[in-house]
């Protein structure tokens, strides 16, 4: 990312796309490398433009942002995905997060907030508010076995990995986790990598969701 964080903007509204492009392309350290008008255009756009972050609309007519996110995250060395929505209570946001998105933003968020979210996700830091995540999960329909599955999955973690997973679920950054557990940031990152491998998850947002499913955060 020496030349900047490369962003692909995906939205079926041309005005929204152009607005996001104009907003982000002038932000420090961010470069918009391409646009797509629907989820079915994303694979070709990623093939044409090396990308670090995809800003993904949830509601699109042909291939929605949930399916598109699943396809993006299934690619080798996939870019991160931040989903865009007009409502923070939209249960489709939660489905997109479970599909592998790293976080979500409201479309009317201030430009500086959107640019900062892009930088944070590119650096591997969370952008989810625990309060909003909890509200999303409370409003979204979940199957009866989610609690038991989450509890069972977390049992494979060591005691220290469990502590780190709970801190991720609480929305803490790597630096905050390191300070709280008296570890180095590098050690925290190593623990998170092992947690993702053991739990077969794609990113730290999915760790957070699993701890919420287990009723631990």
Which tokens sit at 118? 């892009």
Tens of pLDDT, residues 144-190: 678 888 999 999 999 999 999 999 988 888 999 999 999 999 999 99
List the Cα angle 163/165/167 in 5-degree steps: 70
- Judge whether 85 and 60 are in contact, CB under 8 Å: no
The dihedral region occupied by 102, where left means phi > 0, alpha psi between -120 and 50, and beta the remainder, is: alpha
Tens of pLDDT, residues 23-33: 898 788 899 99
Q: What are the φ and ψ backbone dihedral angles of 106, each rounded to 5 degrees?
A: -80, 140
Predicted local distance difference test score (pLDDT) of residue 140:
56
Query: Tokens 């050690």 label which residue?
Result: 187
CB neighbours of residue 67 within 10 Å: 17
Asked if the model's pLDDT at residue 2 lies above 60, the reply is no
Longest dimension (CA), the chain: 49
Do the strands 30-36 and 53-57 form a parallel or antiparallel pair, or are they unpaired? unpaired
**Using CA atoms, how far apart are residues 190 and 196, in angstroms rounded to an integer?**
10
Q: Beta strands of the chain (E only): which ranges?
A: 5-10, 30-36, 53-57, 80-85, 103-106
34: confidence class by pLDDT, cuts 50, 70, 90? very high
Q: Residue range 137-142: average pLDDT?
A: 60
State the helix-helix crossing angle for 204-213 and 185-199, rounded to 10 degrees.
Answer: 70
Q: 53 - beta bridge partners?
A: 7, 80
């Amino acid at each position: 990312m020496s030349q900047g964080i490369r962003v692909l903007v995906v939205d079926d509204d041309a005005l929204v796309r152009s607005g996001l492009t104009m907003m982000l392309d002038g932000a420090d350290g961010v470069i918009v490398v391409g646009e797509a008008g629907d989820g079915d255009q994303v694979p070709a756009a990623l093939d044409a433009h090396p990308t670090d972050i995809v800003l993904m609309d949830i509601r699109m007519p042909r291939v929605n942002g949930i399916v598109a996110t699943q396809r993006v995250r299934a690619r080798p060395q996939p870019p991160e995905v931040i989903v865009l929505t007009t409502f923070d209570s939209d249960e489709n946001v939660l489905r997109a997060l479970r599909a592998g998105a790293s976080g979500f933003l409201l479309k009317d968020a201030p430009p500086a907030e959107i640019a900062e979210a892009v930088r944070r996700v590119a650096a591997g830091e969370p952008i989810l508010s625990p309060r909003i995540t909890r509200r999303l999960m409370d409003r979204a329909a979940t199957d009866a076995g989610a609690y038991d599955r989450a509890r069972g999955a977390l049992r494979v973690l060591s005691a220290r990995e469990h502590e780190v997973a709970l801190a991720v679920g609480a929305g803490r950054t790597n630096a905050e986790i390191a300070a709280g557990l008296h570890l180095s940031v590098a050690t925290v990152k190593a623990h998170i990598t092992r947690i993702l491998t053991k739990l077969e998850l794609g990113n730290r947002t999915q760790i957070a969701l699993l701890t919420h499913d287990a009723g631990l955060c």
